[in-house]
Amino acid sequence: MSRLLVLVAALALAAPALAAERPTLADLEDEVICPTCNTTLELSSSPVAERMRAFIRARIEAGDSKQEIKDKLVADFGEGVLAAPPREGFNLLAWLLPAVGGIAALGTMAVLARRWRSAPPETPSTTPAANGRPSLDPELERRVDEELVRYDA
Amino acid sequence: MAVVASLLVLLAIEVLSDSKGRNLVSAVRKGESPPAPALELPALDGDERISLASFRGKAVVVNFWASWCEPCKEETPMLQKAYERYRAEGLVVLGVNAQDFRVDARRFAGRYDVTYPLVHDGPGTTREAWGLTGFPETWWIDRQGRLVAYVQGQFSAEELERNIERALGPA
């Protein structure tokens, strides 16, 4: 009985792993490019795209893994058949540049934020009057007073 | 900064290479005979590499095809017949199988009993330099390695004959 339980448990644990290894057409259709239309396979109905779909289905039936199918497609059509370039050699740039760009943008923003925070506050051009509003320029104030005196007279 | 500059250079090379191919098409349509671009690819049925330069001194018909291309099914027997007929006069037919599975291309060649040289260009890397936009497309090259005629799409029997005679030159 205990052996049977162990066997059932082992099968239950292995089942997801086995299922994950077996890809579907949909798994590959958005990771493979149709060479004549330069779109992913899922968006193409060209003759070569149809042939590639048939090839992928046949390889899935034959038990190939996702990577094995991709390798076979690359052998015939070159690396350009993959929607995402492999993470090696010159192709690494395609993966690294966005990350480097993102880090550089974050760094620039952090430096600017620090500068803004450490900058001295703007000094007001005039000291506020008793009513809280900025006081007038002394010369202007004198002229206003003169005008008021003249108006009263 | 250096990376951005490198990427811009690569982009410029790509654009120039594409326009170079289209310039060849316009030149030949105007009656000019520009030199054929270089072409060296692996043979369809082996690891040996075949280069266009090795056919210098012969007239060459370069036919770009794929097994999934319907008009190619009509062109291939015509090319095979022309190869058999004009081979002794110095004609070579070079079939460039592009954007296709090797196994399909080999089966296709077997079905039509093709005996002329066939090369494989899976990624289609030669297409831009030759100004190609679809399948099939055919270039005729004279004995001096100059492009003398081009047909976009399926050629007629008359076009094939006329252009072969032009490529072979006066007897």
pLDDT tens readout for residues B89-132: 999 999 999 999 999 999 999 999 999 999 999 999 999 999 99
Residue A108 domain-assigned (yes or no): no
pLDDT at residue A74 greater than cutoff 70 = yes
pLDDT at residue B73 greater than cutoff 90 = yes
Does the beta-carbon distance from A77 to B99 stay under 8 Å?
yes
If pLDDT is split at 50, 70 and 90, which confidence band does B152 have? very high
Residue A91 domain-assigned (yes or no): no
If pLDDT is split at 50, 70 and 90, which confidence band does A94 have? low
Distance of CA A50 to the CA centre of its chain: 31
Residue A10 domain-assigned (yes or no): no
Residue A11 domain-assigned (yes or no): no
- Parent domain of A79: 19-84
Beta strands in B83-165, from DSSP E residues, in sequence order: 91-98, 118-121, 137-141, 147-152
CA distance B105 to B11: 32
CB B78 within 8 A of CB B157: yes
Read off the pLDDT of each residue in B33-60 and give the average, rounded to a whole number.
95
Residue A2 domain-assigned (yes or no): no
Nearest CA in chain A to B42: A76
Q: In this structure, how many other beta carbons lie within 10 angstroms of the beta carbon of residue B140?
A: 28
pLDDT at residue A35 greater than cutoff 60 = yes
pLDDT at A117: 82
- What average pLDDT does chain B have? 92
CA distance B42 to B5: 33
Read off the pLDDT of each residue in A68-84 and give the average, rounded to a whole number.
95
The angle that helices B157-168 and B70-86 make with each other, rounded to 10 degrees, is 40
Residue numbers in A near B100 (CB within 8 A): 48, 76
Question: Looking at chain A from residue 76 to 105, which residues have their Cβ under 8 Å from any Cβ of chain B?
Answer: 76-81, 93, 97
Q: Is the dihedral of CA B147, B149, B152, B158 positive or negative?
A: negative
If pLDDT is split at 50, 70 and 90, which confidence band does A5 have? low
In the block, which residue shows the tokens 């060649």?
Answer: B109
A37–B contact, CB cutoff 8 A: no
Read off the pLDDT of each residue in B59-83 and give the average, rounded to a whole number.
98
User: Which range is least confidently modeled, A5-19, A111-125, B74-88, B89-103?
Assistant: A5-19
Residue A115 domain-assigned (yes or no): no
Closest CA relative to residue B29, chosen from B163, B162, B150: B150
- State how many domains chain A has: 1
pLDDT higher for A29 or A22?
A29
pLDDT at A14: 54
Max distance between CA atoms of chain A, in angstroms, equals 118
**Which CATH number characterizes residue A55's domain?**
1.10.8.640
User: Which range is least confidently modeled, A40-44, A97-101, B15-19, B20-24?
Assistant: B15-19
pLDDT at residue A93 greater than cutoff 70 = no
Q: Where are the alpha helices (DSSP H) in chain B?
A: 2-29, 70-86, 102-111, 157-168
pLDDT at A103: 83
CB B97 within 8 A of CB B66: yes
Distance of CA A124 to the CA centre of its chain: 43
Please work out, in degrees rounded to the nearest 5, the angle formed at the alpha carbon of residue A35 by the alpha carbons of A33 and A37. Answer: 90
pLDDT at A86: 60
Residue numbers in B near A36 (CB within 8 A): 99, 124
pLDDT at B46: 84
Does the beta-carbon distance from B101 to A93 stay under 8 Å?
no
Read off the pLDDT of each residue in A108-113 and give the average, rounded to a whole number.
87
Does the beta-carbon distance from A97 to B102 stay under 8 Å?
no
Residue numbers in B near A50 (CB within 8 A): 68
Residue B90's SS3 state is coil
Closest CA relative to residue B153, chosen from B36, B61, B65, B28: B65
Alpha carbon of A85: minimum distance to chain B alpha carbons (Å): 14
CB B168 within 8 A of CB B143: yes
pLDDT at residue B10 greater than cutoff 70 = no
Task: Say what the ipTM of the complex is.
Answer: 0.81
Residue A50 domain-assigned (yes or no): yes
DSSP-assigned beta bridge partners for residue B95: B63, B118
Report the residue from A51, A77, A79 with minimal CB separation from B68. A51
What are the structural domains of chain B? 2-168 (3.40.30.10)
pLDDT at B138: 98
pLDDT at B6: 63
CA distance A92 to A98: 11
Residue A107 domain-assigned (yes or no): no
pLDDT at residue A38 greater than cutoff 70 = yes
The structure's pTM equals: 0.71
